[in-house]
Structure 1
């Protein structure tokens, strides 16, 4: 089939490469402008537009895919089907309906759960045992269209979001090619998303990464894991200065007292009181293993905290 691809960064580039190796023909690429005011982390930095031009595929750039000129370009290219991958903004119904068969979106979650933004981060924060990607029909509701096919990826106890990113990106191409084959040849049996099992998540922002010491230590470990690597780290305040937490674990023993109190050493780390009803002494604490200060210097936590008794907020 003749494909118009809406894509961006490494997700879009890798998907384009797989489409180029398939029997389908990419006739137009639509991408976001590559000069962003906020530089992308290095692991995301790959240009779909450059790859498209190397293969003489026309490329147009849009912040949002909403205009009549774009509809005309899709129609003039004779696109039979659209494919969207890591498209960060709105695609208007008149645009995703411009290809004669409609548009398939690939989303890095096992829909209907984790529709919306930062699905891998949120899934890891919530302690999910698996993540994945879904190819579904695009409709007027974000990430709510009928499911064509899915792939699952197991989550290990030590995985970070960066690990899950590297594990899911290679699946976008094969999943999409499989979805296109099903659209063209069948079986045309799509799975309607059950709203009773759906969840929708907002974009993550700086306040979302502040460590809530009244949560169980296991949850806080998941937050730290979800925000390592290229993502903005989990953080707290120590003596009024931001302290980023790079690695953490659950304490071997229960730690009772006031939330956020640094009160014991464990190995090369320090134990911080955490968890609901922590004053009753029934909760394990959070062991800070590695931290980074406001001067961007990384420390072993046991060396950074010279004394016990400090409070983190």
Structure 2
């Protein structure tokens, strides 16, 4: 592919790192990289876009807001062919979308039009989806609604956590961008309008949203646990006023019936079990109380609470 094309790049997170590397590997000239300064207190488990920019000698900025007039002026002076957004966390207004001569494009972590909006991998797992992927699409002021350039699907296995699925989505994003770039540059890319009625828009999630509902089935609990497993904040319940974070579970049935009703935690047969109100069950592979370094062990539960079956706080 010709190296004559240029692109302003907004990027963050692992998709931002890998897609920036794809552009550079393809010979695209990048006169400006816009990223975020890592937020204090956030668990930064992904690679750093600014470090990649520095490695390649690219101008890189971390503005609090991308709408700053000085930043727009700097970008206009570069006269870019394209603008790409790869997991950048802020919306870009019309001034940015109209700036590149040949279009603005975003990489989204789902198979659009499904799971438009925030944290699409986590939402897909919460809803029990068996596949997701990455989609490159034209940017419009309405988020994640522009015509599709290309997309690539990846499987979601029944026990996959969000971080495991996200790793697949990162590779899917690389594939999509690498095979789309030649067509975008030579003008032969054929875009497909989205049928927005075939999907929904989802908002962001907060750590408090990890509370396991008392009415959830074992499968619903399992999906929430794996969607929020480390490095995410975690799914949790309260026992005696203490927050118990459930890190890993497995859909299974205990060898014999465990007495009780409602949502409850049990030490049974040398294993931990999370029992749903409807009678379905999960084997708890790893869990910990807030403030405890060591994971909760079955025998410790029985000793600490003077019983093998503990009712979970409503």
Q: TM-score, normalised by structure 1?
A: 0.89
Work out whether 1:289 is the aligned partner of 2:292: no
Mapping of 1:46-57 within 5 angstroms?
Answer: 46-57=47-58
Q: Give the Å deviation of 1:301.
A: 4.3
Question: 1:112: Cα distance to partner?
Answer: 0.6
8 Å Cα contact 1:64/1:91 also seen in 2: no
TM-fit CA distance, 1:288: 2.6
Partner of 2:284: helix, strand, or coil? strand
Q: 1:139-185, CA deviations, whole angstroms, 9 ceiling, x for partnerless residues?
A: 01111111110011111122111111222223323322323322233
Distance (Å, rounded) in 2 between the aligned partners of 1:2 and 1:68: 21
1:198 Cα offset (Å): 1.8
Residue 265 of structure 2 corresponds to which residue in structure 1? 262
Displacement of 1:255 in angstroms is 6.5
Q: Distance in 2 between matches of 1:90 and 1:64?
A: 10
184-193 or 6-15, larger mean C-alpha shift: 184-193
- Greater shift after overlay, 98-107 or 57-66? 57-66
| Residues 106, 182 of structure 1: alpha-carbon distance in 2 compared, 3 angstrom cutoff | same
Are 2:298 and 1:302 equivalent residues in the alignment?
yes
The structure-2 alpha-carbon separation of the partners of 1:57 and 1:289, relative to structure 1 and needing over 3 Å to count, comes to closer
Is the Cα contact below 8 Å between 1:4 and 1:26 reproduced in 2?
yes
Instruction: Return the alpha-carbon distance in structure 1 between the equivalents of residues 20 and 266 of structure 2.
Output: 53
**Contact between 1:266 and 1:287, CA under 8 Å: does it hold in 2?**
no
Moved over 4 A (4+): 253-257
Shift of 1:266: 4.8
- Quote how far apart the aligned CAs of 1:300 are: 4.5
Matched residue SS, 2:144: coil
* 1:5-44 alignment, distance < 5 Å: 5-34=9-38, 36-42=39-45, 44=46
Q: TM-score, normalised by structure 2?
A: 0.89
Q: What is the aligned residue count?
A: 303
Gaps of at least 5 residues in structure 1 are: none
CA RMSD of aligned residues (A): 2.0
The answer as to 2:115 corresponding to 1:114 is: yes
Listed as ranges, the gaps of 5+ residues in structure 2 are none
| Residue of structure 2 equivalent to 1:214 | 215
